């Protein structure tokens, strides 16, 4: 993975000329060279671990070769992949570098590392794909910390064909999990934008939601069992798909972002590989009319596996099709993308019935092309971000979810907050939005912001992001539909769940991690605040 | 509700002669008069609350008329509706009677009652329909306690037509909730066997699952928002259908059985009243073949709203049709019942597709009659129990759930445990079983046990129940699919979630209820154990 950006360096591409023109003429981006510094030239501060501590970690992780303190490895485990994270590492700022990277080989080794870190008061940041965009990898209030990289735990442990479940290790990257399952004729059906780099453990810890969530569910719907290593021992949860035996403790671990323990095994439901996958595009006159059409599918069916709707701006810019960015080819209105999966007969039946609903709701069919284009470029947006940053543009995303009746208010409030603050600081943005996840009773909203970087993008974005978060909480949305809380959203998360909800989290954390070594400052406020 | 049994006394019916013969000839029931003592003659011990305490409760609940200490009201709030509970109250045993019954009128009054009870160290048992079958209403290790009866909080607060959600108060009984929603064209779709008496708050607190769970989901799937009054303040949860903002705290409250707080408001998803409901019966040669057929529908669809399968014994006895009990009319094999709901076209389409799957899986269609009969008598079994107890028979139910691959082992283990222990104590039972809830990856098993009461039914049942619970845990099932934990299942629940899981529950309880007044001994082990 590119240390200073997203994914495979070979897939980064220069921006097409119309996009550069748009950035210059519309957003005032002074295009130029804003590329990152050289990795070789970055020297993070000396690790703050002594020889005895490193030896204890090596003993716990099964050997000195599984404890790395070289600069390159540490830089590659510094922060996550939010735009502020990237701007910092691109500038060579490595204050959040871990003191060491430790690679345990199994559950017992994780337990041993947690014990060693408790004894030595070393903080631990569980590390999967390193794709957090909410500051989930930059602990707060700690003297020194290790990144606990789970890449060695990357096995498909077992498949239960009758129950259609599989046991996966947490360090398995999503494409590898899909490939292993495909070897047995199955798919997990989880395809978030982070798919190429994110891991099974990260999906569980952060309550991930994939682009086919309407068909396969969110990752928290997929998880049937969890094993969790904590400083106080092991949690082993999930004896049935559903149970009335007390609260669902799996749902307390899902979304715990490494603050309660390290997920060392995940049992998930699996599905036979679909015989057919078909995508198509529809146009709606307005975002409101398109949203109403999506709501009809979500409430009365048939629900496609993929169901998305871009607003007018995102449709015009053509972000759904990065290759066509700036061409304005989609013309007016709002583009919806539908994806159907299953047997040929089921796909045909559901497509036909969905078409009936969408036509009745004012939609115009655009055929397969816009859908296939979206599917083809579905994991490309983060690469595009790297190219935009390189030429001096600022681009970032944020998201929320709410009940259907609150969606228009949420949309307006967040958009106005972003436009107002960034215009006020001299970098008027383009704000685009789409719905990418729908439920019976509500939907998500995903915003993309593009502007000039300006003189000092970090404080300007911080101000805009705070305004957007305030708008989300004020309009009754959740602070995150699928990015998570991390450190970035923590203050708003506490407003969302209230002081007593925060106190419950703190009580759980104190019981499982009394020394407070696990991801300090992530999700749960640091003790004493 | 009948104080010593189930439901409307007018609906109790004498047993048909073939059933009495079967009890006598097969199970050795010495039929005779085992009817309960007179309610008027029962005198529970004097309430252990002084005048100042009663005055504090009256002030908190909005008036002295909302604090009841008369014997009849206290007896009517004594224990729940398990067979051991009924045998005790039928004998006039009222050691578990609350010292007072308090009826708050709203969230703030609940908070005030909790404060008063914290100040005076009085335990609080939240009381909805009083239908617990797991000892959830008989606290342990307490000097004195009140039943907090929520019947005054019985409003449909609001409907959000766009989001298809409704806000309901906890004391609303299910038929009243359905009637109020039907007035607006909606249904909740939640029809557990306790439907006629159970309440919305109870459904949430105990993770109820209804007979149409395949179509509408479990109650925990339906809940989108919760307000909870605790001794430490209020929790207000649920800003979106789904969120990645931390653990799902709603799922920590669902199933908390009054041990963490009192649920004072529930936001649920609702559905347009279906135009059509159609039930039908199918016969399978064996339970294993029938289960395989249900699994195919659960994994590949189409999934009916209701999907049930009785084993050979239950089919033979005809328990699915209490009116035909003992007639043996269903002959050999296993009876499955399917129920479809929705528009006429959708019902027809799904019925046809389901029929194709079931025929292919070895099923024989029996037409509408067995399905309609089941639907007609679906809430009758608890009334039948009263009649059986009256003539000296013992009858009780228990249930579990597990992944599909474990279902045969669970079935055998529980059945053998029940037959072995009860035969050993001189009252060989009939053990019947059905699957009533199916999921992609597993199913529930619901057992009904009928035997003679024998000389001393309570210790004999206790032994059998312990053996069944051990069998469930040993065979990898959950200790309850929909009855809950209460006090009866607590020890096995701790084996299920492990000591660390239990410690997490205790930490949450200690934070929300530091004085330990809420349902002591229910769900969470009493402090110090």
Residue with tokens 């195919």: B296
Measured distance CA(A432)–CA(B145) in Å, rounded: 57
| Rg (chain A; Cα; Å) | 23
Domains of chain A, with CATH numbers?
9-149 (3.30.43.10), 276-376 (3.30.70.3450)
Strand residue runs (E) in B136-261: 145-149, 156-160, 165-168, 186-187, 223-230, 233-237
**Which ranges in B229-286 belong to alpha helices (H)?**
250-253
Contact B264, B200 (CB under 8 A): no
Residues of A in contact with B208 (CB under 8 A): 244
User: Residue A47: CB partners within 8 Å, gap ≥ 6?
Assistant: A69, A74, A99, A100, A144
Q: How far apart are the C-alpha atoms of B26 and B255, rounded to whole Å?
A: 39
Chain A interface mutation, best of B164, B226, B241, B484, highest count of A Cβ atoms under 10 Å? B241
Contact: A240, B299; criterion CB under 8 Å: no
- pLDDT at residue A131 tops 90: yes
The whole-angstrom distance between A160's CA and the closest CA on chain B is 7
How large is the average pLDDT for residues A360-380? 94
Q: Which residues of B touch A253 (CB under 8 A)?
A: 247
Residue B178: pLDDT above 80? yes
Contact A240 B478 (CB under 8 A): yes
pLDDT at B32: 74
Half-sphere exposure of B489 (CA within 13 A, CB side): 32
CB neighbour list of residue B503: distance below 8 Å, 6 or more residues apart: A232, A511
Per-residue pLDDT tens for B466-493? Answer: 999 999 999 999 999 999 999 999 999 9
Q: How far is CA B156 from CA A124, B171, B212, in A?
A: 48, 10, 22
Q: In which band, very low, low, confident or very high, does the pLDDT at A349 lie, cut at 50, 70 and 90? A: very high
pLDDT of residue A328: 46
Residue found by looking up tokens 């735009």 in the block: A83
Average pLDDT over residues A191-217: 97
Query: Which chain A residues touch B257 with a CB distance below 8 Å?
Result: 246
Distance set, CA B115 to CA A227, A248, B513 (Å): 38, 28, 10
- Per-residue pLDDT, B527: 63
Closest by CA to B135, choosing from B434, B386, B484, is B484
Q: Give the phi and the psi of residue B104 in degrees, each rounded to 5.
A: -75, 155
Q: Convert the pLDDT of each residue in B424-455 to its tens digit.
A: 999 999 999 999 999 999 999 999 999 999 98
**SS3 assignment, position B177:** helix
For A220, the enclosing helix (H) or strand (E) is helix A219-222
SS3 state at B435: strand
**In this predicted structure, what is the pLDDT of residue A331?**
59
Write the DSSP symbol of residue B143. S
DSSP string, A178-198: HHHHHTTTEE-----TTTTT-
Q: What share of chain B is helix, strand, coil (3-state, %, to 5)?
A: 40, 20, 40
Tokens of B302: 């189409």
Cis check: omega of the bond before A260, within 30 degrees of 0: no
Is pLDDT above 70 for A277? yes
Selecting from B235, B239, B437 the residue whose C-beta is nearest the C-beta of A500 gives B235
Measured between CA atoms, how close is B152 to chain A, in angstroms?
26
Strands A233-237 and A223-230: antiparallel
B249 interaction partners in chain A (CB closer than 8 Å): 497, 501, 504
A274 → chain B, closest CA residue? B300
The torsion angle over the Cα atoms of residues A57, A61, A62 and A67, rounded to 10 degrees, is: -60
Q: List CB contacts of B386: < 8 A, sequence separation 6 or more.
A: B2, B5, B6, B12, B86
- Give per-residue pLDDT as tens, A398-454: 999 999 999 999 999 999 999 999 999 999 999 999 999 999 999 999 999 999 999
| CA-based end-to-end distance of chain A | 36
Length of chain A: 529
Q: In Å, how far is B174's CA from the nearest CA of chain A?
A: 19
Model pLDDT, residue A14: 81
Residues in chain B: 529
Is residue A330's pLDDT more than 60?
no
The pLDDT > 70 percentage for chain A reads: 97
- Band (pLDDT 50/70/90 cuts) for residue A319 is low
* Cβ neighbourhood burial of A316 (10 Å; 0-12, 13-18, 19+): buried
> Of A513, A480, A506, A491, whose CA–CA distance to A126 is shortest?
A513
- The predicted model gives B309-318 an average pLDDT of 92
Nearest to B244 among A164, A209, A512 (CB): A209
Contact A475, A410 (CB under 8 A): yes
Nearest by CB to B269, from A440, A493, A496: name it: A440
Q: With an 8 Å Cβ cutoff, are A505 and B247 in contact?
A: yes
Interface contact A244-B481, CB threshold 8 A: yes
Q: What integer best gives the mean pLDDT of chain A?
A: 94
What are the φ/ψ torsions at residue B219 (nearest 5 degrees)?
Answer: -65, -35
Which has the higher per-residue pLDDT, B24 or A154?
A154
Nearest in space to B406 (alpha carbons), one of B468, B469, B475, B473: B475
Q: CA angle, B420 as apex, B416 and B422 as ends, to 5°?
A: 120
pLDDT digits (tens, 9 = 90+) for A474-501: 999 999 999 999 999 999 999 999 999 9
Most distant CA atoms of chain B, gap in Å = 71
Chain segment B228-275, per-residue pLDDT in tens: 999 999 999 999 999 999 999 999 999 999 999 999 999 999 999 999
CB B444 within 8 A of CB B437: yes
Rounded CA separation A26/A430 (Å): 9
Beta-strand pair A393-403/A442-452: antiparallel
**CA B456, CA B475: separation in Å to the nearest integer?**
29
Query: Do residues B310 and B304 lie in contact, with contact meaning Cβ atoms separated by under 8 Å?
Result: no
> Distance (Å) from the C-alpha of residue B44 to the closest C-alpha of chain A?
31
Assess whether pLDDT exceeds 80 at residue A322: no
pLDDT at A326 over 90: no
Reply yes or no on whether the pLDDT at B330 is more than 50: no
At residue B507, what are phi and psi to the nearest 5 degrees?
-65, -40
**Range of weakest confidence among A324-338, A346-360, B108-122:** A324-338
Q: What is the mean pLDDT of residues B153-164?
A: 98
**Pairing label, strands B100-102, B165-168:** unpaired
Q: What is the mean pLDDT of residues A305-321?
A: 86
With cut-offs at 50, 70 and 90, classify the pLDDT of residue B2. Answer: confident
Q: How far apart are CA A470 and CA A416, in angstroms?
A: 12
Interior CA angle at A494 toward A488 and A495, to 5°?
Answer: 110
Q: A61 CB contacts (<8 Å, ≥6 apart)?
A: A67, A102, A103, A104, A105, A109, A112, A113
Q: Compute the distance between CA of residue B329 and CA of residue B15 in angstroms, rounded to an integer.
A: 17
Contacts of A504 in chain B (CB under 8 A): 235, 249, 252, 508, 511-512
Q: Nearest CA to A396 among A337, A319, A327, A465? A: A465
Q: Per 3-state DSSP, what percentage of chain A is helix, strand, and coil (rounded to 5)? A: 40, 20, 40
Chain A residues close to B206, C-beta within 8 Å: 244
Q: Which of A241, A256, A511 comes nearest B503 by C-beta?
A: A511
Give chain B positions within 8 Å (CB) of A400: 240
Q: Looking at B156-230, which runs of residues are DSSP E strands?
A: 156-160, 165-168, 186-187, 223-230
CA–CA gap between residue A243 and residue B403 (Å, rounded): 11
B306 touches B338 (CB < 8 A)? yes
Instruction: Report DSSP letters for B82-133, one per residue.
Output: SHHHHHHHHTT--TT--SEEE---SHHHHHHHHHHHHHHT-EEEEESS---S
Q: Are A336 and A309 contacting, i.e. CB atoms less than 8 angstroms apart?
A: yes
pLDDT top residue among B68 and B529: B68
> How far apart are the C-alpha atoms of B499 and B522, rounded to whole Å?
16
Q: Does the pLDDT at position B336 exceed 90?
A: yes
Over residues A444-464, the pLDDT tens digits come to: 999 999 999 998 999 999 999
Question: What token pair was written down for A509?
Answer: 């954390």
Q: Is B484 within 8 Å of A269 when comparing Cβ atoms? A: no
φ, ψ for residue B468 (rounded to 5)? -65, -40
A508 chain-B contacts, CB cut-off 8 A? 504, 507-508
What the block records as the tokens of B70 is 């008369």
């Amino acid at each position: 993975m590119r240390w200073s950006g997203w994914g495979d360096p070979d897939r980064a591409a220069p921006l097409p000329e119309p996009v550069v023109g748009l950035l210059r003429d519309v957003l005032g981006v002074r295009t130029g060279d804003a590329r990152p510094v050289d990795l070789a030239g970055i020297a993070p501060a000396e690790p703050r671990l002594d020889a005895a501590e490193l030896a204890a970690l090596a003993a716990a992780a099964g050997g000195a070769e599984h404890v790395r303190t070289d600069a390159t490895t540490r830089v590659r485990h510094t922060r996550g992949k939010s735009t502020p994270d990237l701007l910092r590492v691109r500038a060579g700022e490595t204050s959040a570098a871990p003191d060491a990277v430790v690679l345990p080989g199994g559950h017992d080794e994780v337990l041993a590392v947690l014990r060693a870190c408790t004894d030595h008061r070393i903080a631990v940041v569980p590390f999967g794909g390193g794709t957090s965009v909410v500051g989930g990898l930059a602990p707060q209030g700690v003297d020194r910390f290790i990144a606990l990289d789970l890449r060695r735990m990357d096995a498909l442990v077992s498949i239960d064909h009758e129950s259609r479940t599989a046991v996966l290790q947490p360090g398995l990257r999503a494409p590898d999990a899909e490939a292993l399952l495909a070897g047995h004729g199955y798919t997990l059906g989880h395809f978030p934008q982070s798919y190429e780099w994110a891991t099974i453990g990260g999906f569980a810890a952060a309550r991930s939601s994939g682009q086919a969530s309407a068909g396969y569910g969110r990752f928290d719907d997929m998880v049937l069992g969890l094993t969790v290593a904590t400083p106080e021992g092991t949690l082993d949860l999930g004896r049935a798909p559903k149970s009335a035996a007390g609260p669902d403790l799996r749902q307390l671990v899902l979304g715990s972002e490494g603050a309660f323990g390290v997920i060392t095994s995940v049992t998930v439901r699996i599905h036979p590989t679909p015989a057919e996958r078909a995508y198509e595009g529809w146009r709606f006159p307005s975002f409101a009319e398109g949203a109403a059409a999506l709501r009809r599918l979500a409430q009365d069916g048939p629900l496609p596996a993929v169901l998305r709707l871009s607003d007018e701006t995102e449709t015009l810019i053509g972000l759904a099709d990065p290759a066509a960015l700036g061409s304005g080819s989609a013309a007016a209105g709002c583009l919806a993308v539908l994806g159907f999966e299953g047997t040929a007969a089921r796909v045909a039946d559901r497509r036909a019935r969905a078409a009936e609903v969408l036509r009745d709701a004012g939609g115009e069919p655009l055929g397969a092309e816009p859908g296939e284009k979206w599917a083809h470029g579905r994991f490309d947006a983060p690469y595009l971000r790297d190219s935009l940053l390189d030429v001096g543009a600022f681009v970032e995303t944020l998201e929320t979810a709410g009940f259907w009746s609150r969606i228009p208010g949420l949309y307006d409030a967040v958009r106005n907050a972003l436009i107002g603050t960034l215009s006020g600081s001299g970098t008027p943005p383009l704000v685009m939005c789409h719905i990418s996840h729908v439920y019976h009773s509500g939907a998500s909203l995903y915003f993309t912001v593009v502007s000039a970087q300006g003189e000092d993008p970090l404080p300007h974005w911080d101000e805009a992001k705070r305004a957007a978060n305030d708008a989300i909480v004020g309009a009754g949305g959740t602070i995150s539909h699928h990015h998570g809380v991390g450190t970035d959203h923590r203050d708003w998360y506490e407003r969302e769940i209230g002081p007593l909800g925060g106190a419950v989290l703190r009580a759980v954390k104190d019981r499982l991690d009394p020394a407070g070594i696990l991801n300090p400052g992530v999700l749960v406020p640091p003790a004493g605040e």
